[in-house]
Structure 1
Amino acid sequence: MTIALGRYGIWQPAASTTPDQAREIERLGFPTLWAAGAPADLAGVDELLEATSTLVVGTSIVNIWRGDPGVAAAAYHRVSERFPGRFWLGVGAGHREHTPEFRKPLAAMNAYLDALDAGGVPVEGRAIAALGPKMLALTAARAGGAVPYLVPPAHTKLAREALGPAAVLAPEMKVVLDANPVRARDTARPRIANPTLGLVNYTANLRRLSFTDDDLSGGGSDRLIDALVAHGAAATVAARLAEHHAAGADHVAIQVITPRHATHPDLPGVQLQVHDYEVVDVYRTLAAELL
């Protein structure tokens, strides 16, 4: 099974992504839409695929603690059989801070993959949100690729070395389209600070990449923000995104940040992107530069 992700795709929260938005993303030329936080039953994914003709939809990610893997396996077959070659199941181990039942993530992911195997989900049809060396090694053995979140190109280089040449590597990177670096960092910093700098799996990974306690405090140092967010004019953003490809990525999932946000319905204090004309304008500008 071959799924053509293309070089760049768009990352959006699944709960706030509409079929109209999916059509517009496809119309602009982006080949892939990442439905973030999709439920195990993949509710809503069918509608996004029905609304489009060639768009690939991936989940980045289905949280393994929220829903039975048997449900996810059945949903995978439902979607992939209706839309062959246009769906990729991305799963992840979530965060101990948000998950009361959280236990050793590597063992939990292995058990979840065992259930996907039992449900007939092919290895090449699934990806893992792998950050650390052990989860990357598991991904190389038991998945078709990795969909790491909140990673700079330095992580992509390490991930490619760990995965080998065959696995698909599709990191996420945030974008602020603003040529004023101070203002761009001010726009990005709240999205980096909350919730990600409060989640130990992300901070541990950033420490492995030589970021310090000073970098991780106060909402994130300028050095940290610059590493995690491509900001500037469109050409500058394109050059920063291309660093992931130079480091070994096959595809980059772009998460656009603008000054407008809304509160997450399930996580008080966590902010989500508001999908309005401003975001679509950024997509349009990026499409002209990247595609």
Structure 2
Amino acid sequence: MTRPTVGEIGVWQARPAFTPKLALSLEQLGYTALWVGGSPDGDLRLVEELLDATTTLTVATGIVNIWKDDPQTVGASFNRIEAVHPGRFLLGIGAGHPEATSEFTKPYAALESYLDGLDAAGVPVESRVLAALGPKVLRLSAERSAGAHPYLTTPEHTRQAREILGAGALLAPEQKVILSQDVDHARGLARQAVQMYLGLRNYTSNWRRLGFGDDDLAGEGSDRLIDALVVYGDPATVKGRIDEHLAAGADHVNIQLLTDPGTDPLDDYRKLAEALIG
């Protein structure tokens, strides 16, 4: 089996806000992949609904939490979806956060065991990716899946990840985006989105490896950290950050658009599509 095609630019959206109507609109705007965030359930019904509503794009999970659903359940869901929509589903899995999961012990061994379960359930290596930040899991991504889906990182992390993954493995980082040239407003939105991750060890450890220190991670996060993790400005500025990821070795970048509560995001997605896709 060949790896599902994701193209260069996709959209990452938390599970509650992803609807079939939005998926169709994004496909019509030219986005080539949708990433369902927020630990989608192992029955993967939402993935199926998004695929049913569209015709060409790939739907990926970003990510199914390995502590939430067993590989047999997820594997059966994958096979059900693959039978109806062959080659259009990319299964992203990950170990989540140690602070959020009481069972979180030896996550690397748990990932290996989960991949064994997916093998037994018939999920092809080419149709799955791993949430990966550190070197060890990045290497596992290249060895036992199609590649890696890093979350909340920087172009420098993308460069380092590509060196670890080597050529051929898929590298699909997520990038948070705000279409606003009001710096104070944009940073306020960005901090709301980043705040919870400042207390999660796997993310803070990764940022420390990238050169951020105690001052950057204190409180609500330094401006330097926030500006590195979230790009804001006009569509051309956003394109500049996406191009940095691509130049650093990313195959595909999935944008997570941040907007004010209650805002219809479609107009911003349209502006971004014009700049990023043409």
Per the shorter chain, which TM-score range?
over 0.9
CA contact (8 A) 2:177 2:256 kept: yes
CA shift at 1:180, angstroms? 2.3
- Residue in structure 2 matched with residue 77 of structure 1 by the alignment: 79
Give the Cα–Cα distance (whole angstroms) in 2 for the partners of residues 16 and 80 of structure 1. Answer: 24
SS in 2 for 1:160: helix
- Residue in structure 2 matched with residue 17 of structure 1 by the alignment: 18
Which sections of structure 2, spanning at least 5 residues, go unmatched? none
- Residue in structure 2 matched with residue 48 of structure 1 by the alignment: 50
- Residue in structure 2 matched with residue 201 of structure 1 by the alignment: 202
**Aligned residue type for 1:290:** L
TM-score, with length taken from structure 2: 0.96
- Residue in structure 1 matched with residue 248 of structure 2 by the alignment: 247
**Aligned residue type for 1:23:** L
Q: CA offsets, 1:213-236, max 9 Å, x none?
A: 110112111111111111111101
Give the Cα–Cα distance (whole angstroms) in 1 for the partners of residues 145 and 182 of structure 2. Answer: 40
User: Quick check: 1:88 aligned with 2:90?
Assistant: yes
- Residue in structure 2 matched with residue 177 of structure 1 by the alignment: 179
TM-score, with length taken from structure 1: 0.92
SS in 1 for 2:45: coil
- Residue in structure 1 matched with residue 223 of structure 2 by the alignment: 222
CA contact (8 A) 1:187 1:258 kept: yes
- Residue in structure 2 matched with residue 288 of structure 1 by the alignment: 274
SS in 2 for 1:44: helix
Give the Cα–Cα distance (whole angstroms) in 1 for the partners of residues 142 and 216 of structure 2. Answer: 30
Give the Cα–Cα distance (whole angstroms) in 1 for the partners of residues 174 and 233 of structure 2. Answer: 18
CA contact (8 A) 1:15 1:38 kept: no
CA contact (8 A) 2:4 2:126 kept: no
CA shift at 1:184, angstroms? 1.3
CA shift at 1:137, angstroms? 1.1
SS in 2 for 1:4: coil
CA contact (8 A) 2:92 2:129 kept: yes
**Aligned residue type for 1:226:** D
| Identity across the alignment (%) | 53
CA shift at 1:38, angstroms? 1.4
Give the Cα–Cα distance (whole angstroms) in 1 for the partners of residues 124 and 183 of structure 2. Answer: 44
**Aligned residue type for 1:281:** D
CA contact (8 A) 1:230 1:241 kept: no
Which aligned segments of 4 or more residues in structure 1 are displaced greater than 6 angstroms? none
Give the Cα–Cα distance (whole angstroms) in 1 for the partners of residues 27 and 212 of structure 2. Answer: 37
**Aligned residue type for 1:180:** D
SS in 2 for 1:58: strand
User: Quick check: 1:29 aligned with 2:30?
Assistant: yes
